[in-house]
Amino acid sequence: MQKIGVFVCHCGTNIAATVDVKAVAEALGREPSVVVSQDYTYMCSESGQNLIKDSIRDYGLTGVVICSCSPRMHENTFRKAAAQAGLNPYMVEIANIREQCSWIHKDKAEATEKAIILGRAAIAKVQLNTPLIAGESSVTKRALVIGGGIAGIQTALDIAEAGFPVDIVEQKPTIGGKMAQLDKTFPTLDCSACILTPKMVECAQNENIRILSYSEVESVSGFVGNFTVKIRRKARYVDETKCTGCGLCTEKCPVKKVPNEFNLGMDNRRAIYIPFAQAVPKIAVIDADYCNMLKNGKCGVCSKVCTAGAVDYKQTDTFVEEKYGAIVAATGYEISDVSRYDEYAYSQSKDVITSLEFERLTNAAGPTGGTLLRPSDGKHPHTIVFIQCVGSRCTPEKGKPYCSKICCMYTAKHAMLTREKYPDTDVYVFYIDVRTPGKNFDEFYRRAVEEFGVHYIKGAVGKVAPRADGTLEVQASDLIMNEQLHISADLVVLAAAIEPSKSARSLATLLTASMDTNDFFTEAHPKLRPVESPTAGVFLSGMCQGPKDIPETVSQASACAAKVIGLLSKNKLTGNPCVAHSDELMCNGCSNCANVCPYGAITYSDKEFRMPDRTTKTRRVAWVNPAVCQGCGACTVACPSGAMDLSGFSNSQIMAEVDAICK
């Protein structure tokens, strides 16, 4: 017979306002096996926990039920408190009377009644709880960072600094990500490449970091501390160990008309190429879609000019398999497709560009060598219109429902730099709101207006129409003047919404990490655990979790590294004792459980059993490896003989809860 203590939390007024906590404590006190039932303002507070601990000692409690907030909030707090008082932590059950009762119901009588039923269900469950002891597992002291942009680079550097080996997997031939494509960075206007490339080089030189560029994650198995990851190294047709990055092949290659993705297709590269001058690793790669040798076996120029003998047309994809203790997702973002907005004429005119294309047009390594020229005729634009919120802040049918966060600031930067370099240019910015929360951000925006004379107009652009003379007619509203404006522009720049990388969704599936409806990774807690995924051992760095600017990305990347280092510094991890176990006497060895187990945690062995007639018989029975089992319970339902059960969520416990609710 259990001796159960019930503790009802007021949570200030969060619970007490809609649930009569005294009545709940009194009603639950009358339940069988309950020896003490109390209520208190804040059970999670020090004194609240002491109340629980004292009761455990005073009444010799064998089970504890706490009616409070969600177990996802404070289950661990209360388990720890119980353990400190000498009670097995798994003898604690929580009835969720805040998130699932007081916060959603307004009628006090109704909410109180529900709280009592939820409390009864928890009491019914705890009656059947048994003490559980958590197993331990080892930690592989190596981290994997997926994505080699500024977020991935910073996380990898910080982990490597702490002395742990890190692998960076990058799908492009070089690390650097989007930041490498930017010209200047707000609000200080330092050159993006000047601050990024030293970090890229540091990655290449750090002996704890291995860069697996032009690679993708193929499969992930295992669990926190013990992941096994298979990585596909795509064929680059150039031997990484031999290539010196001299670039001779990229000058001699006869295929010259390949759109250069680094400059967003605004100029061309060769079929064998190095993405940009500061690429890390600086190794050439052959684009198999364009290479004559790979397509029809005729050419071989690059192989002939390569003094290092690095070109290898027969290279194929290879696979690397490695064990990791922690995995960091740093998959970053992409620019969303703006051609769906017909009114902006993005696909009709070359002079309607996205902001990232504008970055390349003003960058010294860009297609125009840093001179701002119109993509259509190479002339200097005299009137430039910037359009904000293109695809951001829309209904889901029309675009992205979120604010992309960075556009207000980079547009202020673009407008300011344009006016500084070309004072004869008229610059208009059409905005809905100017959002500049951040250190020195609003000051920066004000400078664009006050010092550089950028025309900020509150209103939206309704239509961009290309005209025969090559100009663009911009029809817009000025909400403050209550006028419709018609501006003849030479260049229109769209602040396109950002979206998570296309590869993120499939990666999330591999990692079993959850995502929100916009395909951003979900954090374990939106305020208190912002860099961890709900999946243990998977961490989030940078834009893949939500829109961020560079300073925020770097802070999050370092925070993420701190969490990874914390995990890798442990020698042992305490596992989850709520795992499956098989009753040998009932098991018939049918293998149904092993077939459904996603972790391969179930093995079979032959065991001898004494029969009633005193003979012995050998039978094949299942055994669950508690270190590998994650406790999903798939096997418990698959088992035809009812031999398999799950500790902490046993058949009888769940049925007791069902009974308590249906009574």
Partner 1 sequence: MQVKEATGFVPTIVAFCCNWCSYAGADLSGTNRLSYPANVKIIRVPCSCRVNPIFFLRAFQRGADGVILCGCHPGDCHYTTGNYYTRRRMTLLFSMLDYLGIERNRTRVEWVSAAEGQKFAETMRSFAEEIAALGPNRRLADLRCRKDAEEAGITDERGSGDAV
Partner 2 sequence: MNDLKDRVLRMSGSAVVKCMRCGKCSATCPSYDEMEYHPHEFVYIVERGDVEKLLSSESLYKCLTCFACVERCPRGVEPAKVVEAVRLVAERQQGGNRLKPDEIPALCDPDLPGQAIATAFRKYAK
Residue 405 C-beta: closest distance to partner 2, Å: 16
663 part of the interface to partner 1, by CB under 8 A? yes
Q: From the list partner 1, partner 2, none, pick the one residue 246 interacts with, judged by a Cβ distance below 5 to 8 Å according to partner type.
A: none
Residue 414 C-beta: closest distance to partner 1, Å: 33
Residue 418 C-beta: closest distance to partner 2, Å: 23
**From the list 28, 111, 211, 587, which residue makes contact with partner 1 (rule: CB under 8 A)?**
111
Contacts of 514 (CB under 8 A, 6+ apart): 508, 521, 522, 533, 534, 535
Contact 385, 474 (CB under 8 A): yes
The strand ranges marked E within 245-382 are 258-259, 268-269, 272-273, 285-286, 318-324, 326-329, 333-335, 352-354
Residue 636 C-beta: closest distance to partner 1, Å: 7
Question: Which DSSP string do the residues of 250-307 spell out, in sequence order?
Answer: HHH-S---EE-GGGTTSSEE-SEE-SSTT-SS---EE-TTT-HHHHHS---HHHHH-T
Residue 185: beta bridge partners? 190
**From the list 191, 246, 460, 515, which residue makes contact with partner 1 (rule: CB under 8 A)?**
515
Binding mask 598-617 for partner 1 (x = CB under 8 A): x-------------------
Sheet order of strands, 461-466 included = 461-466, 472-478, 483-489
**From the list 436, 475, 522, 641, which residue makes contact with partner 2 (rule: CB under 8 A)?**
475
Q: What SS3 state is found at 636?
A: helix
Contact 359, 185 (CB under 8 A): no
Residue 453 C-beta: closest distance to partner 2, Å: 23
659 part of the interface to partner 1, by CB under 8 A? yes
36 part of the interface to partner 2, by CB under 8 A? no
Q: From the list partner 1, partner 2, none, pick the one residue 107 interacts with, judged by a Cβ distance below 5 to 8 Å according to partner type.
A: partner 1
Query: How many residues touch partner 2 (CB under 8 A)?
Result: 21
Question: Within a 10 A sphere around the Cβ of 535, how many other Cβ atoms?
Answer: 18
Question: Which residues in 51-90 contact partner 1 (CB under 8 A)?
Answer: 70-72
Question: Closer CB to partner 1, residue 118 or residue 476?
Answer: 118
Q: From the list partner 2, partner 1, none, pick the one residue 393 interacts with, judged by a Cβ distance below 5 to 8 Å according to partner type.
A: partner 2
How far apart are alpha carbons 517 and 396 in whole angstroms?
10
How far apart are alpha carbons 103 and 537 in whole angstroms?
32
**From the list 482, 571, 615, 616, which residue makes contact with partner 2 (rule: CB under 8 A)?**
482
Contact 465, 473 (CB under 8 A): yes
637 part of the interface to partner 1, by CB under 8 A? yes
Contact 358, 493 (CB under 8 A): yes
Question: Closer CB to partner 1, residue 60 or residue 642?
Answer: 642
**From the list 16, 189, 394, 627, which residue makes contact with partner 2 (rule: CB under 8 A)?**
394
- The verdict on whether omega for the bond into residue 396 sits within 30 degrees of 0, i.e. cis, is no
Signed CA dihedral, 39, 42, 44, 48: sign only: negative
Question: Closer CB to partner 1, residue 110 or residue 251?
Answer: 110
Contact 315, 302 (CB under 8 A): no
Residue 463 C-beta: closest distance to partner 2, Å: 6
Q: From the list partner 2, partner 1, none, pick the one residue 381 interacts with, judged by a Cβ distance below 5 to 8 Å according to partner type.
A: none
- The verdict on whether omega for the bond into residue 187 sits within 30 degrees of 0, i.e. cis, is yes
Question: Within a 10 A sphere around the Cβ of 38, how many other Cβ atoms?
Answer: 17
**From the list 394, 562, 578, 594, which residue makes contact with partner 1 (rule: CB under 8 A)?**
578
**From the list 10, 114, 414, 548, which residue makes contact with partner 1 (rule: CB under 8 A)?**
114
Residue appearing with tokens 């000692």: 57
How far apart are alpha carbons 638 and 38 in whole angstroms?
41
Q: What is the CA radius of gyration of the chain?
A: 31
Residue 285 C-beta: closest distance to partner 2, Å: 40
Question: Closer CB to partner 1, residue 388 or residue 592?
Answer: 592
Residue 93 C-beta: closest distance to partner 1, Å: 10
Binding mask 88-127 for partner 2 (x = CB under 8 A): ----------------------------------------
3-state SS of the chain: helix, strand, coil percent to 5?
30, 25, 45
Question: Closer CB to partner 2, residue 223 or residue 428?
Answer: 428
119 part of the interface to partner 1, by CB under 8 A? no
**From the list 2, 3, 33, 103, which residue makes contact with partner 1 (rule: CB under 8 A)?**
103
Residue 431 C-beta: closest distance to partner 2, Å: 9
Torsion angle of C-alpha atoms 121, 122, 123, 125, degrees rounded to 10? 90
DSSP 513: -
How far apart are alpha carbons 95 and 490 in whole angstroms?
65
Residue appearing with tokens 């060769």: 270
Question: Closer CB to partner 2, residue 162 or residue 460?
Answer: 460
634 part of the interface to partner 1, by CB under 8 A? yes
Question: Within a 10 A sphere around the Cβ of 17, how many other Cβ atoms?
Answer: 15
455 part of the interface to partner 2, by CB under 8 A? no
Report the Cα 656 to chain-centroid distance in Å: 38
**From the list 46, 207, 397, 606, which residue makes contact with partner 2 (rule: CB under 8 A)?**
397
How far apart are alpha carbons 50 and 558 in whole angstroms?
36
340 part of the interface to partner 2, by CB under 8 A? no
**From the list 70, 307, 440, 484, which residue makes contact with partner 2 (rule: CB under 8 A)?**
484
Residues that bind partner 2 (CB under 8 A): 343, 389, 393-395, 397-399, 432, 458-463, 475-477, 479, 482, 484
